[in-house]
Structure 1
Amino acid sequence: MAQINNSYDEKKRSDIYPDYYISWENSADTYTVDGSHNKSHLHPNISHNDFYQYSELFYQLHDFEGKIYVYLWTFLVILTALGNVLIVAVFVRKSMRTSTNLILLFIAISDSLTGLVTLPTYIHVFTSGYDGWVSLNEGWCEAFMMFKFYISKAFHTVSIWLTFFLGFQRFMFVWFPFKTKFWFTTCRNMIAVTIITIVAFVIHSYHLNESKADKIRGYCQWDFEEPCVKTCIFLWMILLFVNILPSILLLVLTILMIQKLFNQNIRKESFTAEQNRDRAQQNKRASIIVVWIAIIFLIPEIPYGIFLLVTVIKKHGGNNSLTLRTIHLCHVIYEIALLISFHANFWVYIIINRRFRDELKSMFRHGIRTLMSKSSTASITTVSKEMNRSQSQITKGTDVNEQSTLV
């Protein structure tokens, strides 16, 4: 998410893209403030940057980014989206519509959109690089940065908060089963999902007012102001409310749920012994699913939160010891681990949730039967048409023979 401000290597850029680069030190041409071109000298208080703007912007790539984002990232995004399509298809079925499954459904949607929204710009940018740089026009630069830092991050924030909300809801159910079913109804959960989505996009709206296309210096990059005030306030807000606090709170809730499950001390309603046992097993299985989802979620989030904390602290201290390559490498590792964790949720449902497996099998069987039925209907219709056509030809031939006989 955060990038350390690095000086722009103009000499290297002029060597790589000589057609796009103008070296003002070696140029005798000067421009007036109104943009007219002449050979005179500028006013000593006016720099060339006051009037010249690059039409091509440059984004720095590293050797590992191209193949990872073009091939591995694209593959994992599509794989995750396909798995989540099945999750959504199962959870929208009437027999699976519960308040908990509603949250799981929207987690699957936000997980998919976190990656899908980046695909068009990622493929364009990471396939256009040459010798460590990508040349972009202003539109592609703004689109790339907007999807990377705003829209994708907002959807991921929705996933983070929904996962925490899911863990909190399940924790409350484990400890207060009688009251929870009235607190977390489907309608109230839907309201919570809507509020979480709106707030997630609002909290990242900082990027809407920050252009990443620096046409004066000619690069496409999220740069920090010096001294870092507004950007650092935004980073601390994201760090606390998106990365650190949800992860810590979810970790605590998960540990408490594991202890409760280990002690097998879930409260039960007053049913018969058999009903009570079945209900307890269902509740325990649902809690185990939530615990696994929380653990999978925390595996990439906790290390990344620590990395962001160290990065922001170093930025405040003026110690930029982390190179841009190191920062990009950490981001790549985190984002790939994130997609793997998204897809892992599908296998949690497959392995642990028997109802999910049964509904998925039923859905496929119904689909196959429907296709076979349509195929059979189409075959019968075709045969019927052929028979009618043959009968028509026979009838027509008989009529001709009768007319010939009469003649």
Structure 2
Amino acid sequence: MPTMAIQTNYAKFNWFPSGLPVYLNLVPAILQLVVVQSNIFVVAVFLGKKMYFGINVILIGMAIADAASVILLMISYWFALVLHNHSSGSFTENQVHFLCVTYKYGTSVSITFNMVSIWLMVCLGVVKFLLVRFPLQAKNMLTTGRLLFATFLVYVTAILFTFPHYVTDNYDMSAKIYYGKPKDHDIFYCALRRKKEDDFVMYLENDDRLVRSICVHLIPIVVLLCTNSFFCYKLVRKNGIVDPSPKFIRSVKIVCALTFIYLLTEIPFTVFFCLQYYVGVTEKPISFLITNVFYISFTLYVLRFLNYLSNFWVYLVLNKKFRQACCSMFCRRRI
């Protein structure tokens, strides 16, 4: 059997754009903490006996995915933030090892659960579209059990889709630490072991960006733009909705609000991924993209964390039962 050819490359990582004030670096860290706490609370509310039914199953899946997407990144980010503010020189070997491992698997986990969240949003839009367009047939077809199975299927598909991220680019602990320029004390370099071109490569950077841009960004955006346009049209012409009850109208407004916020935060990510693919294929660098890549990435992740956080407030404002469940959890009378 031919031996597996492996080469070691150094990947440069920098959590924080140079010259950014400390209080701005704290913004993602605080958002991550609030995202995890608020989404765990959403799961707890929707798992209640009075809330666990129908579309709420998809909302539970979204909340779990949003929280899971940032947990490991949060650990890595907080660790890097402490080093960034207290380190007077280059990182030690143990610090670099911890950052490389958590960054690699944190990024992989984030990609997986972000895909889950996106496609559950698509499921939510499609399910609500069916309930608006074909109310009688959809109510009988879209049972809680079937929606739970669809949510589970999205999780399995996302894990299989992103599996190559977990088994490639393994951190090489035996490699010497490469520091780069002395002034770059806030930058760490991970030694990555990757298979050479002559062997089977599970992870191709440009191909991965193309597939991810199409499957995880472009297709969901097109579907959600179509469904949201349909909902807005129906809400303007309320006589076009078969079930004009205030409860049903509110549920449509919730899906509209969630979809609008998602599109507002994810469309910039889609443009960024498409530009990265264009640069990788054509090898024509875009000066603005290269010069400001850290600032762009920083802004995009802040937008994504705001998207993860917004669901709780949408439920709180537009969902009466959710407000009542929150009050019952915090304001229970003691006998």
TM over 0.5: yes
Deviations 1:41-64 (A, max 9, x none): xxxxxxxxx99x89x986445325
Please, which of 316, 323, 327 is the counterpart of residue 361 of structure 1?
327
Deviations 1:15-57 (A, max 9, x none): xxxxxxxxxxxxxxxxxxxxxxxxxxxxxxxxxxx99x89x98
Matches within 5 A, 1:45-56: none
Q: Gapped runs of 5+ residues in structure 2?
A: 1-5, 179-188
Matches within 5 A, 1:7-406: 59-60=13-14, 62-63=17-18, 67=22, 71-129=26-84, 134=91, 136-137=93-94, 139-211=97-169, 213=171, 215=175, 218=178, 219-220=189-190, 230-264=204-238, 265-268=240-243, 280-322=245-287, 324=290, 326-366=292-332, 369-370=333-334, 373=335
The question of whether the paired residues in 2 share the 8 Å contact of 1:174 and 1:267 is answered with yes
CA distance in 2: counterparts of 1:91 and 1:182, whole angstroms: 22
Q: 1:148 Cα shift?
A: 3.4
Q: 1:166 Cα shift?
A: 0.3
CA distance in 1: counterparts of 2:197 and 2:90, whole angstroms: 25
Q: Which has the higher contact order (CA 8 A, sep 6+)?
A: 2
The question of whether the paired residues in 2 share the 8 Å contact of 1:141 and 1:212 is answered with no
The question of whether the paired residues in 2 share the 8 Å contact of 1:58 and 1:135 is answered with no
Q: Structure 1 residues 195 and 234 mapped into 2: Cα distance closer, same or farther (>3 Å)? A: same
SS class of match (2:283): coil
Q: Structure 1 residues 309 and 136 mapped into 2: Cα distance closer, same or farther (>3 Å)? A: farther
Bigger shift: 67-76 or 354-363? 67-76
Q: 1:222 Cα shift?
A: 7.8
> After the TM superposition, which segments of 4 or more aligned residues of structure 1 sit over 6 Å from their partners?
221-229
SS class of match (1:63): coil
CA distance in 1: counterparts of 2:93 and 2:141, whole angstroms: 51
Letter in 2 for 1:331: S
Normalising by the residue count of structure 1, what TM-score does the alignment of the two structures yield? Answer: 0.68
Bigger shift: 223-232 or 280-289? 223-232
Hey, what does 2:184 align to over in structure 1? none
The question of whether the paired residues in 1 share the 8 Å contact of 2:269 and 2:300 is answered with yes
Aligned CA-pair RMSD: 3.2
Q: 1:133 Cα shift?
A: 6.5
Deviations 1:148-202 (A, max 9, x none): 3201111111110101100110011100001111222111111111111111122
The question of whether the paired residues in 2 share the 8 Å contact of 1:77 and 1:115 is answered with yes
Letter in 1 for 2:171: A
Kindly tell me the number of residue pairs found equivalent between the two proteins.
308
The question of whether the paired residues in 1 share the 8 Å contact of 2:93 and 2:177 is answered with no
Q: Structure 1 residues 299 and 305 mapped into 2: Cα distance closer, same or farther (>3 Å)? A: same
The question of whether the paired residues in 2 share the 8 Å contact of 1:58 and 1:133 is answered with no
Q: 1:75 Cα shift?
A: 1.0
Letter in 1 for 2:227: L
- Give percent identity, aligned residues only: 22
The question of whether the paired residues in 2 share the 8 Å contact of 1:153 and 1:204 is answered with yes
SS class of match (1:220): strand
Q: Gapped runs of 5+ residues in structure 1?
A: 1-49, 269-276, 374-407
Normalising by the residue count of structure 2, what TM-score does the alignment of the two structures yield? Answer: 0.81
Deviations 1:249-282 (A, max 9, x none): 11111111111121111114xxxxxxxx6xx221
CA distance in 2: counterparts of 1:337 and 1:221, whole angstroms: 30
Bigger shift: 350-359 or 165-174? 350-359
The question of whether the paired residues in 2 share the 8 Å contact of 1:57 and 1:213 is answered with no
The question of whether the paired residues in 2 share the 8 Å contact of 1:60 and 1:132 is answered with no
CA distance in 1: counterparts of 2:36 and 2:177, whole angstroms: 38
Bigger shift: 335-344 or 159-168? 335-344
